[in-house]
Amino acid sequence: MPPPPSPSAPPLPAATAETEIAFLEEEIRAIDPADRRRAALLHMEIARLLEGSGAAPSKVEARVKLAAEMCPDLGLAQRALRRFLRRRKAWDDVLQSIDRELQAAGDAETRAVLLVLRGRLLRDALRRPEAADDFEKAQTLAPADPSAVEALRILHIAEGEWAKAAAALERAAAAADPARATELRREAALLREHALDEPQAALGLWELVLAANPTEPQALAAAERLYAAAGRWLDLCQTLVRFAHATPDPAAKHAAFLRAGLLAAERLGDTPRAAEWLEEAARVRPDAPEPLDALAEVHRRAGDAAAWEAALARRAALAVEPKEQAAFAVRRALILAERLGRRSEAVALLRQAHADLPADPAVTQALLALLGAEGQTAERTALLLLEAERIAERAPRAEALFRAGEACDRVPEAADAARSAYERALEAVPEHRGAFDALQRLHERARNWKALADLLARRIPLAADDAERRTLLRRLASVREERLQDNDGAIETLERLHELHPQDVSVLRDLQRLYAATGRWAEHVARLKAEAEQTAGAEPRAQLLARAGAVLEERLDDQAGARAAYEAAVQAKSDHRPALEALARLAARAGRWPEHLQFLDRTLPGLPAAEQAERLLASARIAAEKLGDEKDAVARCRRALEGYPGHPAALEMLAALHERRKEWREFAEVAAVLASVEKDPPRQAATRVRLGDVLAERLEQPVEAESQYRAALSAVPGYEPAFLGLERVLLRTGDWTGLREVYRAAADAVPEGPARAPWLCKLAAVLAWRLERRREALGVMDQLLAVAPDDPAALRDALLLRVADKQWREAADLLARLGAGSADPAVASACLKEEASLREAQLRQEAGDRLAAALERKPDDRETIALCAEVAPDAVSPAILLARQLAVTADPPERALLRLRLALAMQDAGEETALFGVGDMAAREASTFLPAVRLARQAAERQEDWPRAVQLLEQEGSPETTARPAARVEALLRAAELSAARLGDIARARDLLQRAFDAGPADERVAAALAARLREDRDWAGLARILRRHAGAVEPSHRPAVLFELAQVLREHLESPADAAAVLDELLAVDPRHARAHI
């Protein structure tokens, strides 16, 4: 027999994946065929080990499939299998797997989750109509879970089954919490109203929504609309009132009460309710006029004059403008007088209104009407006129008629009476000034200009003196000219005025104007010359003669007469500039250019520097263009600049002359000055760009040219020629960074549209290929495609950058656009096929991202967890997903297997300490699940937690955990070794060796170790029993040695020679040649 192991033996190394798989394979073969679940769980553990060791997915799938087939009700296996089936799009097999899990599922929540999964598969992958049944069953099982109703709604809406969608929403609302129920009923109401045209059903749903939330705006609007369509005005009013009481918003409260009051009045004819609700609206907003207006109208219709007047009084208190206050006063006065018989109050109210706004015709008319109704106004007017007619003397009668006219004049309707009174006053006393002025005012107000002219004409002979006569003639001329358009009559009147006062220059000027207006230019010139003769000053005289010359030149085409007039003006004043300019103009018209320049030069003295510069500039143009004397033109330009150093036009012409003469340096100097003084930004920018071009191309000065281009951009930020010039300079110098900034600024300066495309294209090229900043180039390409969406070159450039940056979805979009725009069928087909491939991968990724988001929102949602595990396991961290699965799994072995997967995930993440903890938790939770126990035991040994390691080895050695006796023996033997060597517990080690011997009496290591312990304890009887059992269990070749040792123990320690002799006889029967037995 071999010696027992050393008590200080090191711990066994952790099993590799291959050895662990082999161990589990043997364990599976040893399991009772009836215990299919236990075997299936071990198959799942083998699958985990295969996956963790990097085995081919097909091997992992085969193992998972074996577990699912061996134990169809093992949900963990079915879910793992579906993950592989979905990848291969084996939808029928996925459906069968869900069905098998459904058959085994017991609780309603799990069945609902599986039914929703099944329905989604039928709806999205298989396109089968049974999906609706699954969703409805799930909704019945878990009415509070929104997943089924959401899926069912999408299904019915996609198929246009609006009634079913609405019914599903209503069923879900019945079981949902109040907030969710309100949202579901709102959506169902929209479907009932708009898609199904069921207003009554929709109204019922909207009423439920409003019952939960009276201020819900969409429900309120819909209820108002549907109540109105159905003629249910009282219900609508009550809904509005409930809303008004519930809302904290004063504006909304006011609007609701106002609307309810108006409806009660107009639709229901319910005056009390209308008045109540309108009063509420007025109480909410005392400064709002609408409720009081409506309240007044309600009382008017009801015939309640007192309430009507009271409402108007409250409304008048809100009026700000006096005119508006007066209008309310008139309305109130009519009600007081006609409806309530309170005339004195009405008259007092109107008198106050008239005092506040005397010119208001409505107040005046109402007041006169009330006074007339009482007899006051008619009697007063009649008395005034009668008394005036009875007066015998002309002057008093005229004055009385004038006063009566004034009284009538205050009433617009009595204008004729007033005019008649004034005319009779003038008949009595033609010189009566007041009547004349009043009648003049009435004619003006009535725009009766002919009568006014006649009145003035009659008045002229009666004028008291020449001053008044001149005033009347002036007024009559104005009326005839401006009001009657009688220019001839006006001229005749002014000629009379000129005869009366020949020295009145203003009359001559008016005559000049009227002769000009009537085209009587000869008389116009004569009056100009007449004024010149009366003028003493040289300057005014010269001006008049120059004007006469202008009329002769332009109107009468009398060039000789015009020249004579201009020359007379120059004789009157030798430096009279307008006349000199006119003489220069006549010389130019005749082609006498030297004479023209001579006259122009004479106009220069005394002019401001700027104007001198302008004239010199004009003369320079003539010298250059008419006389061909560019040298003289340059000299004149320089003279202009001497007087006005920064004159832009002179600089511009001088620059043009130098450019024409190819004097580039002189041009550059002048252009630089021109650019510095130019105030107009566009012109300054153009000058600087031209200067930059000359510096760059003619004078070979690129740095100075760049400076000019940038200065042009400072003047006009988006000036394209400056950008183009900078582009030429920077391309020549190879400054790609600077070129990038130029392109970006140029693109930003151009308004949104196709004009930006060239700049963006250039910018993207520089960023991508010169500066290697592809991400930035992609952003530019997006802008380019926004302005030129169908440009194939831009699309291909963008595609190249997207692929280089691995942006697959965006690349797929670009391929789709390229395919749609290609005229070549082969190219279009290639683009579309490549797009399909990219989109499939992208959709999977996006679906995983959305599932991960859903899991984050509701971590305990069973359906989301299942979908993440089956459809997109890579979208969520493995540790997080396994933790979520653990939270919703109740079966201990399944939980243990999940914990093992979690441990593997932690190991991959380098979390060694957490790995040990998870493994130990799995072993505690499922103490009979062999893989969990083994992993926990290995972790305990690695951490040198010997008590826990011995405990787990004992657990591993139990038949409930391990089916193979040999494996149990190994575990118990290892436990005995650790108990003795690490814990010093000899008694426990002996007990463990005894249990190992009971499990495998033929194992020589166990028998030897146990025999050693019994010898140490001097338990010879126990040793004899062990040796007897071991001898019966070992192979025949090893039996003689065991029997001989047994015989020795019986003879030497138990003093039983007879028993020893019997054992020796048995030994010799096995091995007759055993020498020591013979001895």
Write the CATH number for 555: 1.25.40
Does residue 92 belong to any structural domain of this protein?
no
- Pull the structure tokens for residue 909: 């993440």
Work out the burial of residue 937: count CB atoms within 10 Å of its CB; fewer than 13 is exposed, 13-18 middle, 19 or more buried: buried
Q: What percent of the chain has pLDDT over 70?
A: 90
508 and 556 belong to one structural domain? no
Q: Which of 244-248, 407-411, 669-673 has the lowest mean pLDDT?
A: 407-411
Q: How many domains does the chain have?
A: 5
Q: Among 768, 762, 848, which Cα is nearest to 803's?
A: 768
Confidence at 1033, pLDDT banded by 50, 70, 90 = confident
Query: What is the identity of the amino acid at 438?
Result: A
Q: Are 73 and 102 in contact (CB under 8 A)?
A: no
Q: Are 607 and 590 in contact (CB under 8 A)?
A: no
Q: How far is C-alpha 413 from the geometric centre of its chain's CA atoms? A: 63
Look at residue 333 in the predicted model and tell me its pLDDT. Answer: 81
State how far the Cα of 234 lies from the Cα of 363, in Å rounded to an integer: 42
Does residue 411 belong to any structural domain of this protein?
yes
CATH number at residue 1054: 1.25.40.10
pLDDT at 185 over 60: yes
Q: Among 442, 446, 407, 447, which Cα is nearest to 423's?
A: 442
Q: Among 652, 720, 649, which Cα is nearest to 682's?
A: 720
pLDDT tens, position by position, 899-917: 777 776 666 666 656 666 7
Query: What is the identity of the amino acid at 1047?
Result: A
- Pull the structure tokens for residue 595: 């004479």
State how far the Cα of 47 lies from the Cα of 68, in Å rounded to an integer: 12
Q: Are 170 and 190 in contact (CB under 8 A)?
A: no
Taking every pair of Cα atoms in the chain, the longest distance, rounded to a whole number of angstroms, is 195
Q: For residue 679, what are the CA distances in angstroms to 73, 465, 646, 647?
A: 90, 62, 11, 11
pLDDT at 416 over 60: yes
Query: What is the identity of the amino acid at 261?
Result: G
pLDDT at 288 over 60: yes
Read off φ and ψ for residue 229, nearest 5 degrees. -65, -35
pLDDT tens, position by position, 537-590: 888 887 878 888 888 877 888 888 888 888 888 788 877 778 777 877 877 787
Helices (H), 982-1019: 986-999, 1004-1017
Confidence at 407, pLDDT banded by 50, 70, 90 = low
Q: Are 976 and 993 in contact (CB under 8 A)?
A: yes
State how far the Cα of 156 lies from the Cα of 707, in Å rounded to an integer: 69
Q: Are 42 and 28 in contact (CB under 8 A)?
A: yes
Domain containing residue 442:
391-446
Work out the burial of residue 413: count CB atoms within 10 Å of its CB; fewer than 13 is exposed, 13-18 middle, 19 or more buried: exposed
State how far the Cα of 4 lies from the Cα of 1009, in Å rounded to an integer: 5
Work out the burial of residue 1057: count CB atoms within 10 Å of its CB; fewer than 13 is exposed, 13-18 middle, 19 or more buried: exposed
441 and 425 belong to one structural domain? yes
Q: Which of 96-105, 392-401, 637-646 has the lowest mean pLDDT?
A: 392-401
Instruction: Over range 949-953, report the average pLDDT.
Output: 88
**Which of 518, 535, 565 is where one domain is finished?**
518
Q: For residue 571, what are the CA distances in angstroms to 559, 566, 996?
A: 18, 9, 149
Give the N- to C-terminal CA distance of the chain in Å, as an integer. Answer: 21
Q: How many CB atoms lie within 10 A of CB 389?
A: 11
Q: Are 863 and 113 in contact (CB under 8 A)?
A: yes
Confidence at 390, pLDDT banded by 50, 70, 90 = low
Does residue 682 belong to any structural domain of this protein?
no
Tokens 């693109």: give the residue: 747
Look at residue 1079 in the predicted model and tell me its pLDDT. Answer: 63
Q: Are 920 and 940 in contact (CB under 8 A)?
A: yes
State how far the Cα of 350 lies from the Cα of 326, in Å rounded to an integer: 8
pLDDT tens, position by position, 19-35: 888 888 888 888 888 88
Confidence at 1076, pLDDT banded by 50, 70, 90 = confident
Look at residue 283 in the predicted model and tell me its pLDDT. Answer: 92
Confidence at 746, pLDDT banded by 50, 70, 90 = confident
Q: Are 566 and 546 in contact (CB under 8 A)?
A: yes
Look at residue 372 in the predicted model and tell me its pLDDT. Answer: 56
DSSP track, 472-513: HHHHHHHIIIIIS--HHHHHHHHHHHHHH-TT-HHHHHHHHH
481 and 341 belong to one structural domain? no
Look at residue 872 in the predicted model and tell me its pLDDT. Answer: 65
pLDDT tens, position by position, 430-480: 887 777 777 888 888 878 888 878 877 787 787 778 777 777 778 877 788
Instruction: Over range 225-229, report the average pLDDT.
Output: 83
3-state helix, strand, coil split of the chain in percent (to 5) is: 80, 0, 20
968 and 1045 belong to one structural domain? yes
- Top-confidence range, 2-11, 95-104, 574-583, 622-631: 95-104
Read off φ and ψ for residue 1020, nearest 5 degrees. -75, -30
Q: Are 619 and 600 in contact (CB under 8 A)?
A: yes
Instruction: Over range 744-752, report the average pLDDT.
Output: 82
* Host H or E run for residue 113: helix 108-120
State how far the Cα of 957 lies from the Cα of 492, in Å rounded to an integer: 143
940 and 1029 belong to one structural domain? yes
303 conformational bin, left if phi > 0, alpha if psi -120 to 50, beta if neither:
left
Helices 322-334 and 305-318, packing angle to 10 deg: 170
Q: How many CB atoms lie within 10 A of CB 488?
A: 11
Query: What is the identity of the amino acid at 945?
Result: D
Q: How many CB atoms lie within 10 A of CB 682?
A: 12
497 and 597 belong to one structural domain? no
417 and 363 belong to one structural domain? no
DSSP track, 191-206: IIIIIS--HHHHHHHH
Q: Which of 704-713, 759-768, 987-996 has the lowest mean pLDDT?
A: 759-768
Contacting residues for 752 by C-beta, under 8 A, at least 6 apart: 787
Look at residue 440 in the predicted model and tell me its pLDDT. Answer: 80
State how far the Cα of 443 lies from the Cα of 453, in Å rounded to an integer: 10
State how far the Cα of 334 lies from the Cα of 746, in Å rounded to an integer: 73
Does residue 937 belong to any structural domain of this protein?
yes
Q: Which of 76-80, 234-238, 612-616 has the lowest mean pLDDT?
A: 612-616
| Torsion (CA) 1053, 1055, 1058, 1059 in degrees, nearest 10 | -30
**R_g over Cα of the chain:** 58
Read off φ and ψ for residue 866, nearest 5 degrees. -65, -40
pLDDT at 1 over 50: no
Does residue 564 belong to any structural domain of this protein?
yes
Contacting residues for 942 by C-beta, under 8 A, at least 6 apart: 11, 14, 916
pLDDT at 4 over 50: no
Helices (H), 322-414: 322-334, 343-356, 361-373, 376-390, 394-409
State how far the Cα of 219 lies from the Cα of 186, in Å rounded to an integer: 7
Q: Among 1038, 964, 961, which Cα is nearest to 1007's?
A: 1038
pLDDT at 327 over 70: yes
**Which of 402, 418, 446 is where one domain is finished?**
446
592 conformational bin, left if phi > 0, alpha if psi -120 to 50, beta if neither:
beta
Look at residue 6 in the predicted model and tell me its pLDDT. Answer: 35
Does residue 854 belong to any structural domain of this protein?
no
Instruction: Over range 294-310, report the average pLDDT.
Output: 88
pLDDT tens, position by position, 109-119: 888 888 888 88
Cα four-point dihedral sign 728, 734, 740, 742? negative
Query: What is the identity of the amino acid at 115?
Result: L
Tokens 């010799």: give the residue: 1068
1014 and 974 belong to one structural domain? yes
477 and 351 belong to one structural domain? no
pLDDT at 141 over 50: yes
Look at residue 368 in the predicted model and tell me its pLDDT. Answer: 55
Q: For residue 270, what are the CA distances in angstroms to 212, 266, 606, 655?
A: 28, 8, 90, 89
- Pull the structure tokens for residue 60: 């992992």
Does residue 245 belong to any structural domain of this protein?
no
Helices 664-677 and 648-660, packing angle to 10 deg: 160
470 and 527 belong to one structural domain? no
355 and 402 belong to one structural domain? no
Look at residue 908 in the predicted model and tell me its pLDDT. Answer: 64
pLDDT at 685 over 60: yes
State how far the Cα of 845 lies from the Cα of 867, in Å rounded to an integer: 14
State how far the Cα of 842 lies from the Cα of 859, in Å rounded to an integer: 25
Does residue 247 belong to any structural domain of this protein?
no
State how far the Cα of 501 lies from the Cα of 512, in Å rounded to an integer: 16
**Which of 577, 603, 629 is where one domain is finished?**
603
What is the average pLDDT score of the chain?
80
State how far the Cα of 909 lies from the Cα of 48, in Å rounded to an integer: 16
State how far the Cα of 203 lies from the Cα of 763, in Å rounded to an integer: 59
Look at residue 494 in the predicted model and tell me its pLDDT. Answer: 78
544 and 599 belong to one structural domain? yes
Q: What percent of the chain has pLDDT over 90?
A: 1
Angle at 475 between CA 474 and CA 480, to 5 degrees: 100
